[in-house]
Amino acid sequence: MTGAFVVERWTTASRIGFLVIAFAIVVLVAAPIVLKAGTLDRLTALFIYVMLAAMWNALAGYGGLVSIGQQLFFGLGAYFTVRLADAGLNPFASTIAAALIVAGIAWAMSHFMLQLRGGEFAIGMWVLSELTHLLVNLDRLVQGETGTSLISMNVYDPDNRRIAIYLLAFGIMVALLGALYALLRSKSGAAIQAIRDNEVAATSVGVDVLKTKRILFVLAAFGIGLAGALWLCSALTFQPKTYFSVQWTAYMIFMVLVGGIGKFEGAILGALLFFTIETWFGGTGVWYLIGLGLAAVVFSLFFPKGIWGAIEQRFGITLLPIGYRLKIIGGAE
């Protein structure tokens, strides 16, 4: 074997990828000037889906923590927003503050939830979510399943409010994706990837597995809390049943499994697919849900790497490089 290697992170595809992303950001920020109200609302929903998928992927795809209870953070994010706004805080500021509280709760929770393994963690989170749902129901403001709404939003003009929420959701989505991307490329990122590939081996080379998992757990809770808060801003009404529904986790699982678990681009692709499918088939109700469940079964059995995993394997493309590539220069074997 002759020749030499260079270690590189960027490929031509990924450079093009970055240009495309920069362009997309500019277009989406300017979009409210031309788009109709309904379209803006749908795009806001898309941004929230991307956040949910990216955060569940961070947890399961990188941390190896499959949770069926992420609706816990979605519901809590919305709940604390209502609570803080009711106490007089500006509703937009409430979303951020609520997510910070959610992150704090997640940090406390992580101390014993992260000791659970595999399926126990998955369903333990679900139990915790049910418990939190029941506790939130006890709040007089919420009035059980009757719910309440984000009244203080009414001071804003509906059109301006819609654009503000759209921009806020977009900004938060970009910030969350950016934060996750930075985390994965940082020193902890190497640890995270090591854990994803082989937890036992990672421990033996000195990776602090628990600390790394905790970072991902809290980040995911924070991001999903924000998503719940934003959903509330857009929908205005808070009914605990809708927010603490396991359906949200089902959506996250669908997006990540189909897109490509453990792939940064996969979660985004999954969210786009889910959004498209929802737009086309969401009206078919039950069959639509059956389709989502079936997709989860089929992908987990036959394509556990998802669509992006297949694309990467087939064409060797990485748009957002996280790892490094070995490139052989000179003659090979």
**Which stretches of the chain bind another protein, using CB under 8 A?**
60, 64, 66, 68, 112, 115-120, 122-124, 126-128, 130-131, 134-135, 137-138, 144, 246, 250, 253, 257, 286-287, 289-290, 292-297, 300-301, 304
With respect to another protein, which residue has the nearer C-beta, 68 or 183? 68
* Residue with smaller CB distance to another protein, 132 or 318: 132
Instruction: Give the 3-state DSSP-derived string for the chain, with helices as H, strands as E and coil as C.
Output: CCCEEEEECCCHHHHHHHHHHHHHHHHHHHHHHCCCHHHHHHHHHHHHHHHHHHHHHHHHHHCCCCCCCCHHHHHHHHHHHHHHHHCCCCHHHHHHHHHHHHHHHHHHHHHHHCCCCHHHHHHHHHHHHHHHHHHHHCCCCCCHHHCEECHHHHHCCHHHHHHHHHHHHHHHHHHHHHHHHHHHHCHHHHHHHHHHHCHHHHHHCCCCHHHHHHHHHHHHHHHHHHHHHHHHHHHCEECHHHHCCCHHHHHHHHHHHHHCCCCHHHHHHHHHHHHHHHHHHHHHCHHHHHHHHHHHHHHHHHCCCHHHHHHHHHHCCCCCCCCCEEEEECCCC
Q: How far is the CB of 118 from another protein (least distance, A)?
A: 4
Q: Shortest approach of another protein to residue 205 CB, angstroms?
A: 18
Closest approach of Cβ 270 to another protein, in Å? 13
**Least distance CB 126 / another protein (angstroms):** 7
Least gap, CB of 62 to another protein (angstroms): 12
23 or 287: whose CB is closer to another protein? 287
Nearer to another protein, 12 or 146 (CB): 146
Comparing CB distances to another protein, the nearer of 53 and 319 is: 53
